[in-house]
């Protein structure tokens, strides 16, 4: 007698990413779980909806361990000024001018993703450039790093920024050398501008953006995301909950949040991993920077903040890019294990972009994990080769060393900083190649299988969900992606061109090409 099933995927080239049983042909789903992984000859054992995979590659759905969903959603409603769509400041001006012509005067015009390194003029746009394109609309243009933006004169006026305004804490107002007037370029002030100056998106706009983001993720084969936005708190939890309930956001979501919200979550009895497999509470996110040449917040504040979250039973995710901030993060984790020696929290370093050997050893000793962005090598490699000092290049966006030292790297896009498609990241983790073909620190190259693992099991481990997802195994959630080709057997150069054919979440086909 054959058993009832909800979905039967056969004739597949299954990459299970389970080391005990790496390959299969048939995967059977009942409810939202995988109940059988085997050869095609098991097909007769089951009855239910069948999909002939025609030899295509079925693997666990991708897990993007660090993204910013609401920024991604709002970016999808803004002008795309990334190097994929503009090549110069004049191109940006033309886009803004077009937008101004169809937007009522006085309404904000928002552009995103510019990267001065790839503009023909090799400089940031200025308020004057934006004024020329739209003199009667406030304009905000966000840098691709999300750490800088440019406003036009009307935008600066609405933000109350004048020649007299001093640099705020953690921020920098760039000035014209001759006049001392703000040039329009602002560093470290994006949250102030986005939250205090520009009116928020209406509920309907936000919903439209989230639906577009949902399509962007599913069409990239992403079945789980981890939102790393520091301003997240209880209010954002409720917003995400609403999107989940209404089906606007299909990928599973783990929401990190800022330390400011810890007390409220504790008061509401919401502990680490509270929620269910569709929406759960993740790590306490901490941002560390060195924008003004010194650590912000200070080492002392960082130590106490990290300790507070650690004592409350939460995982901590520390944003650390520069060598100095990675060192401060290591110091804070050492401090908290001395003050409150409770291991197994899997504290994470987000980015850990420059990690010299002594810091690698210290992070290993405190059993930290690294959430890395191999796609930055692809999209920004050319910039790194020009800006990163030679001595630091071998320590830039390492992967092999993290794997070897047990830092359990998880792959992510930091979307919208980079596009969410994980395949350019998989490609870069293997080849270490920038978009222009130049190779960065080739000794950090990893195998195709390991690269796929960091974008699946790596992400699951980083959110304590490796028993639930990240590989195709009986008992795990039926979150899978069907690809046009096998990333392990094709030539590495072809990996970034592989197409997503189907995306499956909880046993349901939620996206098809």
Residues numbered 221 to 280 that lie near Zn ion (CB under 5 A) are 228
Q: From 4-12, 171-179, 204-212, 414-422, give the range in contact with Zn ion by CB under 5 A.
A: 414-422
Three-state secondary-structure class, residue 74: helix
Nearer to Zn ion, 114 or 376 (CB): 376
Binding map of Zn ion across residues 172-211, x = CB under 5 A, - = no contact:
----------------------------------------
Q: How far is the CB of 144 from Zn ion (least distance, A)?
A: 12
DSSP 312-358: TT--EEEEE-SHHHHHHHHHHHHHHHHHS-------EEEE--B--HH
Q: Which residues of 453-492 are buried (b: 16+ CB within 10 A; e: fewer)?
A: bbbbbbbbbbbbbbebbbbbbeebbbbbbbbebbbbebeb
Asked whether the bond before 310 is cis by omega within 30 degrees of 0, the reply is no
Q: How far is the CB of 229 from Zn ion (least distance, A)?
A: 8
Residues numbered 421 to 440 that lie near Zn ion (CB under 5 A) are none
SS3 content of the chain, % helix, strand, coil (to 5): 35, 25, 40
Q: Is 64 in the site for Zn ion (CB under 5 A)?
A: no
Kindly report the backbone phi and psi dihedral angles of residue 91, in degrees, each rounded to the nearest multiple of 5, phi listed first: -60, -40
Q: How many residues bind Zn ion (CB under 5 A)?
A: 2
Rule CB under 5 A: choose which of 248, 414, 465, 479 binds Zn ion. Answer: 414
Residues numbered 345 to 384 that lie near Zn ion (CB under 5 A) are none
Q: How far is the CB of 195 from Zn ion (least distance, A)?
A: 16
Binding map of Zn ion across residues 213-232, x = CB under 5 A, - = no contact:
---------------x----
Nearer to Zn ion, 60 or 422 (CB): 422
| Residues 6+ positions from 366 with CB-CB distance below 8 Å | 330, 333, 334, 337, 347
CB atoms within 10 A of CB 294: 9
CB atoms within 10 A of CB 91: 15
Nearer to Zn ion, 99 or 353 (CB): 353
- Here the contacts of 46-50 (C-beta below 8 Å, separation 24 or greater) are 46/2, 46/3, 46/4, 46/5, 46/8, 47/2, 47/3, 47/4, 47/5, 48/4, 48/5, 48/6, 48/7, 48/8, 49/5, 49/6, 49/7, 49/8, 50/8, 50/9, 50/10
Residues numbered 482 to 511 that lie near Zn ion (CB under 5 A) are none
Q: How far is the CB of 350 from Zn ion (least distance, A)?
A: 6
Q: How far is the CB of 72 from Zn ion (least distance, A)?
A: 11
C-alpha span between 140 and 229 (Å, rounded)? 20
Nearer to Zn ion, 152 or 315 (CB): 315
| Residue whose beta carbon is closest to Zn ion | 414
Q: How far is the CB of 372 from Zn ion (least distance, A)?
A: 12
Whole-Å CA distances, 208 to 75, 77, 92, 196, 251: 11, 8, 24, 22, 16
Q: How far is the CB of 456 from Zn ion (least distance, A)?
A: 20
Nearer to Zn ion, 372 or 503 (CB): 372
Nearer to Zn ion, 43 or 228 (CB): 228
Nearer to Zn ion, 125 or 419 (CB): 419
Nearer to Zn ion, 150 or 228 (CB): 228
Nearer to Zn ion, 414 or 465 (CB): 414
Q: How far is the CB of 414 from Zn ion (least distance, A)?
A: 4
Q: From 103-111, 400-408, 412-420, 475-483, give the range in contact with Zn ion by CB under 5 A.
A: 412-420
Q: What is the contact surface with Zn ion in residues (CB under 5 A)?
A: 228, 414
């Amino acid at each position: 007698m054959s058993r009832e099933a909800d979905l039967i995927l056969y004739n597949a080239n299954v990459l299970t990413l389970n080391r005990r049983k790496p390959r299969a042909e048939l995967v059977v789903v009942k409810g939202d779980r995988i109940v059988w992984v085997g050869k095609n000859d098991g097909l007769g054992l089951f009855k239910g909806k069948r999909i002939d995979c025609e030899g295509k590659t079925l693997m666990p759905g991708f897990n993007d361990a660090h993204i910013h969903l609401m920024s991604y959603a709002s970016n999808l409603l803004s002008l795309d000024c990334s190097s994929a769509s503009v090549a110069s400041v004049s191109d940006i001006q033309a886009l803004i001018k077009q937008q101004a012509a169809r937007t009522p005067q006085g309404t904000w015009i928002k552009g995103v993703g510019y990267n001065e390194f790839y503009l023909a003029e090799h400089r940031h746009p200025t308020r004057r450039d934006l004024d020329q394109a739209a003199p009667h609309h406030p304009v905000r243009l966000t840098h691709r790093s999300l750490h800088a933006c440019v406003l036009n004169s009307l935008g600066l006026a609405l933000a109350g920024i004048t020649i007299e305004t001093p640099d705020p804490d953690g921020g920098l107002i760039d000035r014209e050398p001759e006049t001392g007037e703000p040039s329009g370029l602002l560093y470290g002030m994006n949250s102030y501008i986005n939250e205090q100056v520009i009116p928020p998106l209406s509920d309907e706009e936000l919903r439209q953006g989230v639906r577009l983001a949902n399509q962007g993720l599913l069409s990239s084969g992403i079945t789980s995301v981890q939102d790393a936005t520091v301003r997240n708190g209880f209010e954002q939890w409720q917003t995400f909950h609403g999107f989940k309930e209404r089906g606007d956001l299909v990928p599973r979501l783990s929401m990190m949040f800022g330390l400011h919200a810890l007390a409220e979550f504790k008061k509401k009895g919401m502990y680490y991993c509270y929620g269910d497999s569709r929406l759960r509470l993740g790590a306490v996110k901490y941002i560390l920077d060195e924008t003004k040449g010194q650590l912000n917040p200070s080492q002392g504040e960082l130590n106490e903040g990290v300790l507070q979250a650690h004592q409350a039973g939460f995982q901590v995710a520390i944003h650390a890019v520069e060598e100095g901030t990675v060192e401060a993060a290591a110091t804070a984790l050492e401090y908290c294990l001395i003050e409150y020696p409770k291991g197994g929290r899997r504290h994470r370093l987000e980015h850990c972009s420059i990690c010299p050997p002594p810091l690698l050893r210290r992070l290993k000793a405190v059993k930290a994990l690294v959430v890395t962005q191999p796609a930055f090598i692809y999209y920004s490699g050319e910039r790194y080769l020009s800006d990163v000092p030679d001595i630091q290049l071998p320590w830039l966006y390492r992967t092999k060393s993290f794997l070897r030292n047990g830092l359990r790297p998880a792959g992510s896009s930091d979307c919208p900083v980079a596009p969410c498609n994980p395949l350019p990241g998989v490609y870069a983790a293997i080849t270490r190649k920038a978009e222009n073909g130049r190779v960065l620190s080739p000794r950090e190259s990893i195998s195709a299988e390991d690269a796929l693992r960091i974008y699946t099991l790596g992400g699951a481990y980083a959110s304590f969900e490796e028993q639930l997802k990240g590989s195709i195994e009986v008992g795990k959630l039926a979150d899978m992606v069907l690809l046009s080709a096998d990333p392990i057997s094709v030539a590495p150069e072809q990996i970034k061109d592989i197409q997503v054919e189907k995306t499956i979440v909880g046993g349901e086909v939620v996206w098809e090409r």
